[in-house]
């Protein structure tokens, strides 16, 4: 019987599992860091010395502004379907996209058309993620490509077949022309063994009435980040190493204690360990303080 790790109150599963945790590979597509931006969702995983981030950022200025260290490699590729595309450079760099902003629709919302105003275009060659050898064993796939998500996912069938979690921006309206919405992304990933888990970081805007917006609150939700996890069928098929990785991601990145516990329970059933028991005791102890 494998003894359980000592889960410290308020600690991370990354630290608790220590050497039991295999190498974690994070693939970050759209890895640029913008002024005032939040830390990436996978930031807690960087505490593990065997965590590696493979980032993709095709533009020199954005790539130069992105922090690189021993754990973080940035490749100068645009990831999509492997075809040549026209990249739309927008007034706000975080809104630049392989897809053209839907200006007529954006003008209905406060300030959005200005942010997405195209200031230039350039032809770019893209690569399929499945053709990037370094990305083959990705555990955590993070995508932020401004509505070009399905172009990326369509070229990542092999990567998706073993990835443990997909964290991607999704849209709820036609922000870009002919762009997929959340439902399209959900259907694509569902057909490949993933289930939607939760939204976070909603983007909202006020609707314009003429040239002005009324009301104090911006209530129209236009985009968000969406997290997808393995379906229950796929979860049951994961090996113990993958289950420990997913437990760590669930707990440390998203505070998804139920998913982390479900993963640890499956590990215990296979190996005779008592990870789930130790985890449950630690979580319940935190709840009483």
153 closest CA partner among 98, 79, 85:
79
Lowest mean pLDDT among 26-30, 58-62, 249-253: 58-62
pLDDT of residue 34: 47
Give this prediction's pTM.
0.93
Q: How many CB atoms lie within 10 A of CB 209?
A: 10
pLDDT of residue 30: 84
**What's the start-to-end Cα distance of the chain, in Å?**
31
Check if the beta carbon of residue 156 is closer than 8 Å to that of residue 137: no
User: What is the tens place of the pLDDT at every residue in 49-59?
Assistant: 899 999 998 87
Range of the domain at 265: 13-287
Residue with tokens 């360990």: 273
**Element spanning 42, H or E:** none
Which runs of consecutive H residues, i.e. helices, occur in 167-274? 182-190, 232-237, 240-254, 257-271
User: Residue 268 above 80 pLDDT?
Assistant: yes
Task: Let me know how many helices (H) and strands (E) the chain has, helices first.
Answer: 11, 12
User: What is the tens place of the pLDDT at every residue in 125-167?
Assistant: 999 999 999 999 999 999 999 999 999 999 999 999 999 999 9
User: Residue 199 above 50 pLDDT?
Assistant: yes
If pLDDT is split at 50, 70 and 90, which confidence band does 61 have?
Answer: low
Calculated CA dihedral for residues 271, 273, 278, 283, nearest 10 degrees: 0
Instruction: For residue 269, tell me if it sits in a domain.
Output: yes
Burial 22-41, CB ≥16 within 10 A → b, else e = bebbbbbbbbbbeeeeeebb
Instruction: For residue 8, tell me if it sits in a domain.
Output: no
**DSSP bridge pairs for 220:** 205
Calculated CA dihedral for residues 196, 199, 202, 206, nearest 10 degrees: 60
CA distance 2 to 244: 14
| Residues across the chain | 289
Rounded to 5 degrees, φ, ψ at 109 are: -125, 145
Check if the beta carbon of residue 230 is closer than 8 Å to that of residue 132: no
Cα 5 vs. chain centroid, distance in angstroms? 28
Tell me how many domains the chain contains. 1
CA distance 201 to 222: 11
Helix, strand, or coil (residue 38): coil
Instruction: For residue 77, tell me if it sits in a domain.
Output: yes
Instruction: For residue 121, tell me if it sits in a domain.
Output: yes
Instruction: For residue 254, tell me if it sits in a domain.
Output: yes
* Higher pLDDT, residue 288 or 57: 57
**Domain at 42, CATH number:** 3.40.50
Instruction: For residue 5, tell me if it sits in a domain.
Output: no
Q: How many CB atoms lie within 10 A of CB 240?
A: 19
CA distance 43 to 68: 14
Instruction: For residue 85, tell me if it sits in a domain.
Output: yes
Instruction: For residue 168, tell me if it sits in a domain.
Output: yes
If pLDDT is split at 50, 70 and 90, which confidence band does 95 have?
Answer: very high
pLDDT of residue 283: 86
CA distance 278 to 2: 12
CA distance 100 to 185: 19
């Amino acid at each position: 019987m494998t003894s359980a790790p000592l889960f410290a109150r308020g600690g991370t599963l990354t630290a608790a599992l220590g050497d039991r945790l295999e190498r974690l590979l994070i693939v970050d597509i759209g890895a640029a860091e913008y002024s005032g931006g939040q830390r990436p969702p996978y930031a807690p995983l960087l505490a593990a010395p065997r965590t590696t981030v493979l980032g993709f950022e095709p533009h020199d200025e954005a790539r130069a502004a992105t922090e690189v260290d021993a754990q973080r490699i940035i490749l100068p590729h645009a990831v999509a379907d492997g075809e040549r595309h026209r990249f739309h450079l927008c007034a706000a760099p975080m809104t630049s996209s392989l897809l053209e902003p839907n200006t007529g629709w954006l003008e209905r919302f406060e300030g959005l058309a200005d942010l997405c105003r195209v200031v230039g275009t350039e032809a770019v060659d893209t690569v399929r993620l499945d053709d990037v050898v370094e990305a083959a064993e990705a555990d955590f796939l993070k995508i932020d490509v401004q509505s070009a998500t399905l172009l990326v996912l369509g070229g990542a069938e092999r990567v998706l077949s073993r990835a443990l979690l997909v964290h991607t921006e999704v849209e709820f309206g036609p922000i870009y022309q002919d762009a997929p919405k959340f439902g399209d992304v959900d259907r694509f990933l569902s057909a490949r063994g993933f289930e939607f888990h939760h939204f976070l970081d909603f983007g909202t805007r006020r609707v314009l009435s003429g040239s002005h917006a009324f009301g104090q609150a911006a209530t129209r939700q236009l985009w968000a980040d969406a997290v997808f996890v393995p379906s229950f069928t796929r979860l049951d098929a994961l090996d113990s190493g993958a289950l420990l990785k997913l437990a760590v991601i669930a707990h440390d990145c998203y505070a998804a204690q139920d998913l982390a516990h479900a993963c640890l329970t499956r590990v215990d059933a296979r190996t005779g360990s008592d990870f789930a028991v130790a985890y449950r005791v630690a979580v319940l102890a935190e709840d009483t303080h």
